[in-house]
Amino acid sequence: MSDKIQTPRGTFDVLGDAARARDELERTARGILERAGYERIETPTFESTALFARGVGESTDVVQKEMYTFDDGGGGSITLRPEGTAPVCRAYVEHGMHKLPQPVKLWYLGAYFRAERPQHGRYRQFWQVGAEALGSDDPAVDAESILLLAEILEAIKVSPVRLRISSLGTPATRAEYKAELQTYLRSHEDRLSGEVRDRIDLNPLRAFDADHPGTQEVMRAAPLLLDRLTDEDREHFETVKALLDSAGLSFEVDPTLVRGLDYYTRTVFEFTSDALGSQSGVGGGGRYDGLVEQLGGPPTPGMGWAAGVERILLASPPPPTAAPPLDLYVAYAKPEYRRDAFKLAADARRAGHAAELELGGRSLKGQLKSAQRAGARYVAILGDEGTALKDMESGEQRVIQIDTVMHHIRTGL
Ligand code: HAM
């Protein structure tokens, strides 16, 4: 026998209870998002590498070291999508969605890929549920978007969750602030970690994320972007906060909140759960008012989030595992009755019943046992005496005409 082949590192199969839990999450997310007017979108699993390089940002970890990038066989470069926002913006431009009534509200659920070091809650193929609203900079879009994720997490009973929000202002404010922060970091260079020091030019904001004690000490006195916002951006942020308050959603303002992707402007937020250990980010997002234009579209504001499906499920109780009900199990005594049995099961399904046929070549006794295990409400047994229908709840059994089986399932024996 040759060696067993297993799933690649950082990937996993989804089956049994885990598959049912995902179905439940998908149903819940769909219900909440579609009631708010979001429509489903699915973009391809791979995209041109340039989309992420330009959209997510050359300086981010995602682009620098976490992308699965391949030659497409014709001289082009493609990348397994590490995230969903750049693809949705590409689709918005490609389909001329700016001509639709704005904002265009879209949601998605699918697999994403990052070449990260796998650990509990961190995988190389993971799933995200996400929502994007394009074409309006109204702060109500921000507040509603955040509220929708909060409602999904609450419905799935993710706990305990903490919501942190902040504002990054406009790219111009950010650029000025970045220069100010760089000057500050350089003046304290000797106390910073090597990694932070190396990234002062590229991404100084990440210094707020560092777990190096010396760096943390320096960052406690660092200037904050939140104190440098323009009046307009501050007002926008104040309105977002007031709307969240009015919806009764509690949050903390965290001026050091850093997101790992470059496209954010104004509002950013993150939900975390202590149930997850070190990979505590359940979901997050924010506003990205320049992204569509950066990808070749008209100037278009955007706001959205994505949440990790595995992390949501890790931080929530398993849903009750009710097996789907089975209306009819079709058993047969001898091989010559297989044809009629096959047709009966197919007809029952066409009529909208859950029906299964014996497929394991079992003895009649074995078939009845397997019907019981499957929780069948009725069993039809095709044999020499005709068709017997057994009510598995009362134990009653009667010989009936085969073409009246469906009638009896509906009305009882
Ligand atoms: P992100 O924070 O990079 O944002 O990812 C969103 C969520 O995906 C995380 O909070 C986490 O739950 C999950 N996630 C990320 N990487 C992994 C991994 N390796 N294993 C398991 N789960 C993971 C985005 O992707 C943005 N596109 C969100 C967004 C949408 N911003 C605006 N619109």
User: Which tens digit of pLDDT belongs to each residue from 113-135?
Assistant: 999 999 999 999 999 999 999 99
The helix/strand/coil state of 159 is coil
Q: Which of 261, 267, 295, 310, when mutated, tests ligand 1's pocket best, judged by the most ligand atoms within 8 Å of its CB? A: 261
Closest CA to 44 of 111, 125, 94: 111
Q: Does 310 contact ligand 1 (Cβ within 6 A)?
A: yes
Of all protein residues, the one whose alpha carbon is nearest to atom 18 of ligand 1 is: 122
The ligand 1 atom nearest the CA atom of 270:
10
**107 C-alpha to ligand 1 centroid (Å):** 14
Q: What structural domains does the chain harbor?
A: 16-169+229-314 (3.30.930.10), 326-412 (3.40.50.800)
Q: Which of 12, 62, 83, 145, when mutated, tests ligand 1's pocket best, judged by the most ligand atoms within 8 Å of its CB? A: 83
What pLDDT does residue 57 have? 87
The ligand 1 atom nearest the CA atom of 287:
32
What pLDDT does residue 85 have? 98
**Per-residue pLDDT tens digits of the chain, which is 413 residues long:** 789 999 999 999 999 889 999 999 999 999 999 999 999 999 999 999 999 999 998 888 899 899 999 999 999 999 999 999 999 999 999 999 999 999 999 999 999 999 999 999 999 999 999 999 999 999 999 999 999 999 999 999 998 899 999 999 998 998 899 999 999 999 999 999 999 999 899 888 889 888 999 999 999 999 999 999 999 999 999 999 999 999 999 999 999 897 888 899 999 999 999 999 888 899 999 999 999 999 999 999 999 999 999 999 999 998 776 777 899 999 999 999 999 999 999 999 999 999 999 899 999 999 999 999 999 999 999 999 999 999 999 999 999 999 999 999 999 88
What pLDDT does residue 116 have? 95
Q: Does 180 contact ligand 1 (Cβ within 6 A)?
A: no
What pLDDT does residue 51 have? 97
Full-model pTM: 0.92
**147 C-alpha to ligand 1 centroid (Å):** 17
Of all protein residues, the one whose alpha carbon is nearest to atom 17 of ligand 1 is: 122
The ligand 1 atom nearest the CA atom of 260:
3
The answer to whether 155 touches 149, Cβ cutoff 8 Å, is: no
**128 C-alpha to ligand 1 centroid (Å):** 7
- For 278-378, where are the alpha helices, taking DSSP H only? 291-294, 309-314, 338-350, 364-373
Q: Does 88 contact ligand 1 (Cβ within 6 A)?
A: no
What pLDDT does residue 75 have? 92
What pLDDT does residue 324 have? 75
Q: For residue 398, with 0-12 CB atoms within 10 Å meaning exposed, 13-18 middle and 19 or more buried, which class applies? A: exposed
**126 C-alpha to ligand 1 centroid (Å):** 9
Residues sharing a CB contact under 8 Å with residue 85, sequence separation 6 or more, in sequence order:
55, 130, 132, 261, 263, 285, 288, 291, 302, 304, 306
Q: What tokens does 90 get?
A: 């590409």
- The residue to which tokens 């942020």 are assigned: 237
Of all protein residues, the one whose alpha carbon is nearest to atom 15 of ligand 1 is: 308
**311 C-alpha to ligand 1 centroid (Å):** 10
What pLDDT does residue 278 have? 86
The answer to whether 225 touches 266, Cβ cutoff 8 Å, is: no
What pLDDT does residue 209 have? 84
The helix/strand/coil state of 65 is helix
